[in-house]
């Protein structure tokens, strides 16, 4: 019997992917939070000591992993700016390897859509 990955398992898979990407770009991790719906998932700094708060969101494909709630993100960006941090967003899409509208299952191949981290810059009036 096939068992679907839980939300937390999909989130962990996305976190691993994003974490490896950030590491390859030279970011240094200050804090990592893999708990669902706790933000940010990564607090890191670059070589210039600039702080970044990284939000990781996982969705089931065919939903667009690069979409995020702009009102919520504006609130979060305001929080980050008070801490002199910039916000990065990493959307990850997952699905079953053969069934287009099915979630991934444990111990089986899956498809992933990930286009890297993107800078979030919203006008904060």
- Digit-coded pLDDT (tens) for 24-77: 999 999 999 999 888 899 999 999 999 999 999 999 999 999 999 989 999 999
Which residue in this structure is represented by tokens 């200050």?
30
The total of other beta-carbon atoms located within 10 Å of residue 14's CB is 24
Residue 1's pLDDT is 66
Question: Which residues, at least 6 apart from 102, have a Cβ–Cβ distance to it below 8 Å?
Answer: 4, 95, 96
Q: Any alpha helices (H) in the chain, and if so which ranges?
A: 7-24, 70-82
Indicate if the pLDDT at residue 101 is higher than 90.
no
pTM higher than 0.85: yes
d(CA 4, CA 6): 6
The total of other beta-carbon atoms located within 10 Å of residue 83's CB is 10
Residue 32's pLDDT is 96
Indicate if the pLDDT at residue 125 is higher than 50.
no
pLDDT band at 89 (very low <50, low <70, confident <90, very high): very high
- How is the chain split into domains, by residue range? 7-119
Residue 121's pLDDT is 76
CATH number, domain 7-119: 3.40.1350.10
Indicate if the pLDDT at residue 123 is higher than 70.
no
Percent of the chain predicted with pLDDT > 90: 82
Q: What is the mean pLDDT of residues 80-96?
A: 95
Indicate if the pLDDT at residue 18 is higher than 60.
yes
d(CA 26, CA 39): 21
CB 32 within 8 A of CB 11: no
């Amino acid at each position: 019997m096939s068992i679907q990955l839980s939300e937390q398992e999909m989130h962990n898979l996305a976190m691993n992917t994003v974490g490896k990407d950030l590491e390859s770009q030279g970011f240094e991790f200050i804090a990592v939070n893999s708990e669902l719906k706790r933000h940010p998932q990564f607090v890191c700094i670059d070589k210039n000591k600039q702080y970044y708060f990284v939000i990781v969101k996982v969705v089931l494909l065919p939903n667009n992993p690069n979409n995020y709630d702009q009102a919520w993100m504006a609130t979060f960006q305001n929080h980050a700016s008070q801490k002199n941090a910039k916000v990065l967003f990493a959307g990850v899409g997952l699905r079953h390897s053969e069934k287009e509208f099915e979630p991934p299952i444990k111990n089986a191949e899956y498809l992933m859509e990930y286009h890297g981290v993107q800078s979030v810059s919203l006008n904060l009036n």
